[in-house]
Amino acid sequence: MNLILIGAQGSGKGTQAQLLAEELRLKPCASGDLLRDAIALQTPAGRAAKPYYDRGDLVPDDIVADMILDNLQQLGDAKGIILDGFPRTQRQAELLDRRLGEMGAHIDHALYLAVPRDVLQDRLSGRVVCAAHGHVWNLKTHPPRVPGVCDLDGSPLSQRSDDTPAKIKHRLDIFFGETIHLTEYYRRQNKLVQVNGNDSVEVVHAQIRARLGVERAPAPVQNEQSAANG
């Protein structure tokens, strides 16, 4: 099974990706992680991407697609992949479908975590991360036991530099102005699975399991991930 997660930052994509990866034995493929790993491993796609990455430019879609296909060909024990962060546009989705088709693969479902914009704004404004390992907490929805200190490693918590009101608004503008149109693309293919992301991690995950026909319950959430992540 190959899945795509669609949702704005703050929708809980990161949490649900982790749960689905563990439960369905899927290989997580977050676009940022793919890029950094490919560069570090000096794969052909990683070498092609490095000049763009070093300049701070967007990596061309074809190169990102190559990284995804590389992962599909190196699944190990995984039974598929779960994509987070690519595609972001219909052009990218069409490219991905074409490239997957060339190797006899396809996307099975596109999961959309629907959360109102005002809720996303509120979630992101309360998000903090720890200095040691980047564990994510939310002062409003999932606070640490001791204010300002990560429960998991004891390091100090701080707001990310890109979680200022202006930058949050900019990211949400991009999602609701552009990425949201992917839902129609996958709806036309009868692959869209839309769930209400404005609920607890457990309830959202139960919705996804029900829509995918997955009956086995996942292991309890034991880490920092929350609906504030994504």
Active site (catalytic) residues? 13, 88, 127, 160, 171
Give me the count of residues in the chain. 230
Whole-angstrom distance, CA of residue 151 vs CA of residue 132: 12
C-alpha of 130 from chain center:
19
Written as one letter, the residue type at 78 is A
Of the candidates 7, 29, 9, the residue with the CA atom closest to the CA atom of residue 138: 9
Whole-angstrom distance, CA of residue 131 vs CA of residue 149: 10
Instruction: Report the SS3 class of residue 42.
Output: coil
Whole-angstrom distance, CA of residue 167 vs CA of residue 163: 6
What ranges in the chain are assigned the alpha helix state H?
Answer: 13-24, 31-41, 44-55, 61-72, 90-102, 117-125, 165-177, 182-188, 201-212
What DSSP state is assigned to residue 156?
A: B
Q: What value, to the nearest 5°, has the Cα angle with vertex 84 and ends 104 and 168? A: 150
Joined together, the tokens standing for residue 196 give 């209400």
- The residues, ordered by sequence, that sit 6+ positions from 42 with a Cβ below 8 Å of its Cβ are none
